[in-house]
Amino acid sequence: MSTPAKPARSGGASALGWVLTIGLNVVAPIVTYNTLTEDHGWSEFSALLLSSAWPVLDTAVMAAWRRKIDEFAMVTLVFLVITAVVSLVGAHTARALLVKDSSVTGLFGLLCLGTLLAPRPLMFYFGRKFATDGTPASTAWWNGMWQYEGFRSTMRTMTLVWGVAYVAEAVVRIALAYALPTRTMVTVSPILLYGVLGALGVWTAWFGKRRAAEGARRQAEAEAAAAAAPATA
């Protein structure tokens, strides 16, 4: 069975989706948090809580646009709730906030590992979010790829690597939060967080391309063998 070709991406839909995702999940929360804490004297917790409303708005916009709430949106909502709950629990010192922040990424890693027991692992839904433009054709293409064993193996391997990496990253950051001065850790913590994310992004792109090339090679070999079979019969 040949692998179906990926449909052409809708440039406009893809660009708009990325603008909304980055703007509402990254830019707007940072601007809101800094404005409230620096210009209006809000507490860190209150500013953080209000800033988290932007990703919720992103989920609502995407749900209205696509007329459904996908699994990626559900994961985003779950982690917003987890972040709020973790922030409320325990002490509110600077070190405690650093530890809580690290705990959230650790929970994400555990979630990745836990979904390996589910029908489809978490990276399948993350891949569908970022590898397609959200149109029915590209979504159907991605969902249809699940029938291929190589694709399923790739998604599970990616999920395993992300899960282990984020659990390890959380353990390291929590340990450093107690070993280093708070002023130093405020700088080190985001470097670790985004460093791990960047490394995982590069690895995921490389691994996905390698697996796709291997699959294309095996398909070509199978088609060549099938074409040669009648001639040798």
CA distance 146 to 175: 39
pLDDT tens-digit map of 157-192: 999 999 999 999 999 999 998 888 877 877 787 788
pLDDT tens-digit map of 89-108: 666 666 777 777 788 889 88
Contact (CB, 8 A) for 134 and 17: yes
Q: What is the mean pLDDT of residues 141-151?
A: 90
Task: Quote the pLDDT of residue 220.
Answer: 77
pLDDT category, 23, cuts 50, 70, 90? Answer: confident
Paired tokens of 140: 């159907």
Q: Range with the lowest mean pLDDT among 3-17, 81-95, 185-199?
A: 3-17
Q: Range with the lowest mean pLDDT among 79-93, 165-179, 199-213?
A: 79-93
CA distance 95 to 82: 19
Higher pLDDT, residue 169 or 212: 169
